Amino acid sequence: MKYPFADVEKKWQKKWEDNKTYKTDLTDLKKALYTLVMFIYPSGSKLHIGHWYNYAPTDSWARYKKMRGYNVFEPMGYDAFGLPAENYAIKTGIHPKDSTLKNIDDIREQLKTMGCMYDWDAELMTCVPEYYKWNQWLFIQLYKKGLAYRKNAPVNWCTSCKTVLANEQVQTDGTCERCETMVERKNLTQWFFKITDYADELLDGLKTIDWPAKTKLMQEHWIGKSFGTEVKFGVAGHKDKEIRVFTTRPDTLFGATYVVLAPELDLVQELTTDEHIAEVNDYIESIKSLSEIERTSTVKEKTGVPTGAYAINPVNGEKIPIWIADYALANYGTGSVMAVPAHDERDFEFATKFKLQIRKVILEKGTDSDAELTEAFTAPGTMVNSAQFDGMDSVECKSKITDWLAENNNGEKRINYRLRDWLISRQRYWGTPIPIVYCDSCGEVPIPENQLPLELPYDVDFKHDGASPLAGNSEFVNTTCPKCGGEAKRDVDTMDTFMDSSWYYLRYLNPKFTDGMFDTKLGDDWTPVDMYVGGAEHATMHLLYARFIHKFLRDIGMVNSDEPFQRLLHQGTITNNGAKMSKSKDNVVNPGIFIDEYGSDVFRMYMMFMGPYELGGDWSDKGIVGVDRFVQRAYALFESNKDLSKSTVAPSEFKMDDLSQTEKHIYQLVNKTLAKYEVEVENYRFNTAVAALMELNNGLKELAVCSNEFRLFILERFATMLAPLAPHMGEECWSILGNEKGLFDNPVWFEVDQSALVQDSVTIIVQVNGKVRAKLELPVDSDEAAVKETAWNDNKVKSHTEGKSVVKEIYVKNKIYNIVVR
């Protein structure tokens, strides 16, 4: 009989639900295990292949752990705020709240057909006041600690739509995706979280977590800690002004021949001479629509204009011109850069183009100090043209010059970070309202905690001209000051949705908790999350923000751990004809037809079999029949051994000497498979785990001639290995054997019989000059003399060494014997 997947899946899903199999008892902390997958963004109403690829293998891992006796907590929820729902509303008129809640209902139903172990009592969504209230509370805690503050920052502004655009809404040519108008950068006052205060700890903490090395490396580079010197340049004719620059090359300071300021700095307007002001303002206008990537590209032709003002180099009192150039960014570092054309590639190019002075201050070994440079010399060398430092080693002079600057109050040692503070203001509707009011007499005032949540009003014009849609709702905007009771206006921005995802793993533990942001007892018991799985695209942003918030929560006594996610893994992306699946491209592959034809177990097992989990790949259904055939064969095997456990009992292990030759082979195979399976599944290498089960299945062709208890022994192990990967089928096979209790209600796992893994002979490869010439089957741990003799007796070895002299012979025990001849 063909495996009746539809009936089997329905049957077990009902049993699991009736038995509350996946309700986790969070008070049972013995072998507690929190496994988490990044929650779902409910944009469309359909789960696509990518979702299955993310969730099904993760669930298989959780099930494996459950079968090994862990008390597994595996929740699922919805990252429900965000831009797409708002765009959809603008296009269709359907309110984000309505479309989002509808999508969530549809998605929940589809998630249930996957047959995952989600504890549905722990389900949460971020767009309800019960959740986002605590975003507001958290904001206020950060505010109280001085970690939330306002400053100016640029946004993408469409002058035609009169709205702020997300980077995604700006096309590659710099125009608005709706109206094709050129997008400008415009400054707005916005809220920031001081993540930079935690930069060092975020860096150090990486050493303590079990994350992919590449992710840690990306975070390390994102934080970008660099050691250097801050130098104070005076400004000629402006005694009250100074320009601070950060440099990692203080040894080149005598070679600084000009200074570059970010065009947007206020200082630029203050310093520029009348003669240059028109040119400067034209330049600022001309770069308004450039993105940061374009501005800082090292291949783009450098642009810039002089301000007419001069800076004073503190080391030699020299007057050097002040320029502005787009590659200096106002929101990075001090916004000012000292330029040393002789020893920096970008400065060399700039100085050459604009005929600025190039002065060599570090001499390359073996070159003439008068020789003209044809390119920047960036390596260390000997100091020249540097007054009292001449003749010294440039590396040593880094600290010498810094010390000398410090003694004269012209600078100091400094650590700089690439990391910037987290901008959380969004000029959008569908998000958490920022709990601040602005009062003419009291200034910015946080809403008292007992007045939270500040609810997001339903009625709003999404196309409201200007900054934020909420600004158009006067009932929302106009309020009274919590401090003085006078008239006040609310902040009309909402929060970045990364705020929602920065602490949801704590809320899952009790989403209905009303006495605080989350139940801190449960938080301490269950976090850090043991295993976190999600896309690599989150490597630097979400995963850094969540770490920051976790550390902040620790500092205010809410959690007792330093990191939110102990172990992390990224699933790969499934593409369609090489393109990322997305609703907008209309290229999503719907799993529905595969579920209908093969069932969810075959489908999820195929996804796991496709390749390495962390690699992903292009979607193809070509191989799914192979997995289906495997399932059919395995099912038939169990069917032909129905109710075996009702008439016989399998021992916990067999003695190899008591087994027939056939049984011995199968016994070794099943133990080898089990040992491999454990390692592969533990490390999310499901493709090789499935392959191992296929090999096992192929090796059971002669099982029928074995004894009853032996067959039961083998099939029990086979069923338990199937269960994590194909949960419905695993349960079914287990029950076919005659077991009354379900595998996930009563977890079972079998030990490997280590004695069955011992091999008595081994294949030794004989190479001549690195080429395989013979394969010898020899006892394990044979000594060199024995191998040598057998090897040299081989005809092929003889023919390939004949008439040549032996240079040397290499023996690697149990592996290889290599003869080198000339």
Partner RNA sequence: GCCGGAGUGGCGGAAUUGGUAGACGCGCUGGAUUCAAAAUCCAGUUUAGGCAACUAAGUGCCGGUUCGAAUCCGGCCUUCGGUACCA
Closest CA to 821 of 789, 798, 795: 798
Hey, what are 689's tokens? Answer: 């785990």
48 or 360: CB nearest RNA? 48
95 or 360: CB nearest RNA? 95
87 or 141: CB nearest RNA? 87
Residue 217: CB minimum distance to RNA, A:
4
CA distance 301 to 460: 45
Q: Which residue stretches of 640-793 are H helix?
A: 644-647, 661-682, 686-698, 708-725, 727-736, 784-792
In sequence order, the 6+-apart residues with CB closer than 8 A to the CB of 699 are 665, 666, 669
CA distance 311 to 339: 12
In sequence order, the 6+-apart residues with CB closer than 8 A to the CB of 647 are 708, 738
Q: Is the dihedral of CA 231, 200, 506, 43 positive or negative?
A: positive
500 or 530: CB nearest RNA? 500
CA distance 588 to 619: 10
CA distance 558 to 565: 16
Closest CA to 116 of 6, 41, 21: 21
CA distance 736 to 666: 21
Per the listing, tokens 């994102």 go with 222
Residue 626: CB minimum distance to RNA, A:
2
Per the listing, tokens 């962390």 go with 614
Residue 169: CB minimum distance to RNA, A:
7
CA distance 585 to 39: 22
Residues comprising the chain, all counted = 822
Closest CA to 118 of 107, 129, 130, 131: 107
Residue 312: CB minimum distance to RNA, A:
30
Count CB atoms within 10 A of the CB of residue 702.
13
389 or 417: CB nearest RNA? 417
Residue 40: CB minimum distance to RNA, A:
8
397 or 729: CB nearest RNA? 729
**Which residue type does 664 have?**
K
Residue 2: CB minimum distance to RNA, A:
8
CA distance 94 to 85: 9
Residue 389: CB minimum distance to RNA, A:
30
160 or 683: CB nearest RNA? 683
463 or 815: CB nearest RNA? 815
Residue 691: CB minimum distance to RNA, A:
4
10 or 796: CB nearest RNA? 796
306 or 469: CB nearest RNA? 469
63 or 672: CB nearest RNA? 672
581 or 712: CB nearest RNA? 581
Paired strand residues for 186? 155
15 or 792: CB nearest RNA? 792
Per the listing, tokens 């970690």 go with 147
CA distance 815 to 822: 23
360 or 800: CB nearest RNA? 800
529 or 650: CB nearest RNA? 529
Closest CA to 113 of 600, 608, 728: 600
Residue 150: CB minimum distance to RNA, A:
13
Residue 663: CB minimum distance to RNA, A:
19
208 or 799: CB nearest RNA? 799
Residue 149: CB minimum distance to RNA, A:
15
CA distance 359 to 255: 5
Rg of the Cα trace of the chain?
A: 34
CA distance 683 to 336: 47
Q: Which residue stretches of 164-319 are H helix?
A: 199-205, 213-223, 266-271, 274-286, 292-296
Residue 723: CB minimum distance to RNA, A:
19
Residue 616: CB minimum distance to RNA, A:
7
Count CB atoms within 10 A of the CB of residue 168.
11
CA distance 596 to 459: 42
Residue 709: CB minimum distance to RNA, A:
25
Residue 185: CB minimum distance to RNA, A:
11
Paired strand residues for 772? 767
Paired strand residues for 188? 153
Closest CA to 164 of 560, 470, 502, 583: 470
What Å distances lie between residue 81 and 138, 190, 492, CA to CA? 17, 19, 16
Residue 70: CB minimum distance to RNA, A:
22
